[in-house]
Amino acid sequence: MQVTLLPPQPDEPQITARHAIQGLGQHAEAFLAANNLQGWAEDEAYVLRLDRLADVLLMLSASTGLYVGQVKRYARRISKLSDAGGSKIKRAKALDFVVKALGYYSYDVAYRCRGADDFIQNFWPHGSAMSLRSLEKSVDQIHSNDRIIGILLHNYQRNLEQDLKLNREELILKDSSQKHTQKYLQIETLKRQIAEKTQYDSRRPLEYRADL
């Protein structure tokens, strides 16, 4: 019996209707399609969960805004999630994370620019990285517009007067000689009402933007 060994032959060219891939995104789509033999379910969707840090930030960025009490509540959640993941995010940094999702530079900026009823409106992405300096000088025209600057400046100026008044009232509460006076009791009642409102606001559900 005689066996003849033949050299490897080139593959015959195949006719295909596929068009040439133009970018990396199409490479990714082709890879996913080739490895997903069962196909994509039409009703298949990603479910956002409160036990994932990235999901929490995504939900916040899609909201209409947050009350101060809600900001503190979600900051606590972020701190707990970071602990569970093996990294510690301190409370101050967690507060910054929350308001950055709304388009503010820091919690200090967001608090000073809070609206009526202690509501911090979501201006992302138009107000992204907006600092107090850019507000006061109105020079940050890249990431913001005149309408947003006008709203935040109005809130900032109103809160400046309101917070100065609250600071003066704090000094009265620290003055032992003022204790049991009518003014002292009025301020104490007001502070208790503010704390109760903040606690109530913290339990509010998120409301989502209609433009998404």
Residue 137 has pLDDT above 60, yes or no: no
On whether residue 103 sits in a domain, the answer given is yes
Q: What is the pLDDT of residue 76?
A: 95
Domains in the chain: how many in total? 1
pLDDT of residue 6 exceeding 70: no
By the 8 A CB rule, do 122 and 65 touch? yes
The answer to whether residue 6 is domain-embedded is: no
Assigned domain for 185 exists: yes
In a domain, 78, yes or no: yes
Q: Per-residue pLDDT averaged across 159-183, rounded? A: 87
Is 126 among the domain residues? yes
Backbone angles phi, psi at 188, to 5 degrees: -60, -40
Q: Is residue 172 part of a domain?
A: yes
Give the Cα separation of 29 and 191 in Å (integer). 57
85 has pLDDT over 60 = yes
Considering the domain boundaries, does residue 41 fall inside one? no
Residue 7 lies in a domain: no
Give the structural domain span for 122. Answer: 53-202
